[in-house]
Amino acid sequence: MRILFVNSHVDKGGGQAIQTLQLFRALRSRIDAEFLVLQGSGVHQELLREPGVRSVGALRYPQGIESLRRAIGKASGQFDLVHVNDVYFGLPATYLARAYPRVVLFGTDPVQELGWRYGPGVREAVRASLPVLLAGSTLVTNSEPLGDAFRRFSPVVIPNGIDPKRFAVLPSRDAARLELGLEDSARIVLYVGKVIPVKRVEWLLEAIQRVPDARLVIVGGFREEHYGDSYYRGLLRSYPEALPRTSFVGEVPSSRVDTYLAAADLFAFPSRFEGMPNAVMEAMAAGLPIVASDIPAHRALLLVERTGLLVRSGGEMGETIARLLADDRLCRQLGAASRQFVQEHLAMDVIRDRYLTLYRSVLAGSGRGAAAAPVGEGQP
């Protein structure tokens, strides 16, 4: 079995790109696979040197779609199935290349995500185009709530996976803080993710104002192509009292995130919507207690009062963080349960095998939405 992976990028990072690369690595231990991407300008350039990863053009819209389409066309007949991991470049490129059979992964809701980013007109355009772009495909979502949103396409639900062994050898908290230059005495609340409106970072700044003995560490880029840095600058103007105890680190290589996880006491994630957030999964694997927004994706991932706590406002987030940091026993219980949940339910080798089963089903003609022609030879 030979699988062609297609994604917009890996070098810009982001949860879905990191998830896709982790799955690709796991699959390559079992099958032949190649990964086509576009080259961006992020801090994760080393990921472009991963075995099997091939950049075929620049990450520019819409030129990148044509770059991917040409590369997929050249791969005609070399692969049994194409696995698409992004909706913005990869899905239209594989559609135009008539690449079937095809598995398409939704890591988040593209209708809502692009609606938040570009407005209701784009949201409706994406909604209207999906039936055409997904025709003849097998859709996969990474959570049941996301699957419910696209029930009309009969999705297969396969959760994201993670390698628990990666988090079994983290440095001690003191060693990690020394390496990062963080204060030894402060309790550290960590957030990993983009600083953009949909992530609702204002909750974090509101929360930290209510926890005077804690420091907030925000790891993630605060300048983005669509928003620029206007949202970030707005946060600085709106929450001056939080700034002395807040560190905006910026984006760091994914390997460096592990050190921040090791240095933290608690992980907070206030996003408006998610599919199955990689950042939360990594924090769980690192054994951190989690405080997250009460949204369907988090309700599916976090067992309330067992692996994490859910909140509905910045004020409630602050109160919950203060409660946890005052109760070391509860923090340890939540962190241990989080790590165990990842090991038992989200280990990457288990997720890899579920994808292999799906690929065999699609190639046998029994997968939902499957087409029978080799890559590059189907008809939309």
Q: Dump pLDDT digits (tens) for 60-112.
A: 999 999 999 999 999 878 999 999 999 999 999 999 999 999 999 999 899 98
Are 21 and 131 members of one domain?
A: yes
Q: Is the pLDDT of residue 372 over 80?
A: no
In a domain, 41, yes or no: yes
Domain count, the chain: 2
Beta bridge partners of 214: 187
Cα separation, 91 vs 126, in Å, equals 12
Are 233 and 115 members of one domain?
A: no
In a domain, 378, yes or no: no
In a domain, 335, yes or no: yes
Cα separation, 224 vs 264, in Å, equals 26
pLDDT-derived band at 46, boundaries 50, 70, 90: confident
pLDDT-derived band at 328, boundaries 50, 70, 90: very high
Are 268 and 310 members of one domain?
A: yes
The whole-number average pLDDT for the span 187-212 is 95
Q: pLDDT by residue (tens digit) across 108-151?
A: 899 988 888 888 999 999 999 999 999 999 999 999 989 999 99
In a domain, 226, yes or no: yes
Q: Is the pLDDT of residue 267 over 50?
A: yes
Are 247 and 287 members of one domain?
A: yes
- Range of the structural domain that residue 292 is part of: 164-345
Are 20 and 140 members of one domain?
A: yes
Are 352 and 286 members of one domain?
A: no
Q: Is the pLDDT of residue 380 over 80?
A: no
Helix (H, G, I), strand (E, B) or coil at 208: helix
pLDDT for 18: 86
Give the CATH number of the domain where residue 128 resides: 3.40.50.2000
Are 222 and 110 members of one domain?
A: no
Name the phi and psi angles at 114, rounded to 5.
-70, -30
Cα separation, 328 vs 213, in Å, equals 15
Nearest to 19 by CA among 307, 204, 300, 276: 276
If you average pLDDT over every residue of the chain, what do you get?
90
Are 141 and 214 members of one domain?
A: no
Q: Is the pLDDT of residue 337 over 90?
A: yes
In a domain, 368, yes or no: no
Helix (H) or strand (E) holding 143: none
Distances (CA, A) of 105 to 82, 350, 351: 11, 17, 13
Q: Quick check: 89 and 348 in contact, CB under 8 A?
A: no
pLDDT-derived band at 376, boundaries 50, 70, 90: very low
Are 220 and 267 members of one domain?
A: yes
- DSSP state for residue 262 in the 8-state scheme: H
Q: Is the pLDDT of residue 228 over 90?
A: no
Are 219 and 149 members of one domain?
A: no
In a domain, 352, yes or no: yes
pLDDT-derived band at 193, boundaries 50, 70, 90: very high
Tell me which residue has tokens 């999705």: 155
CB atoms within 10 A of CB 347: 17
pLDDT for 183: 77
In a domain, 54, yes or no: yes
In a domain, 172, yes or no: yes
pLDDT-derived band at 357, boundaries 50, 70, 90: very high
Are 92 and 174 members of one domain?
A: no
Cα separation, 105 vs 331, in Å, equals 34
Are 175 and 298 members of one domain?
A: yes
pLDDT for 366: 53
pLDDT for 368: 47
Q: Quick check: 136 and 94 in contact, CB under 8 A?
A: no
- Quote the percentage of the chain above a pLDDT of 90: 73
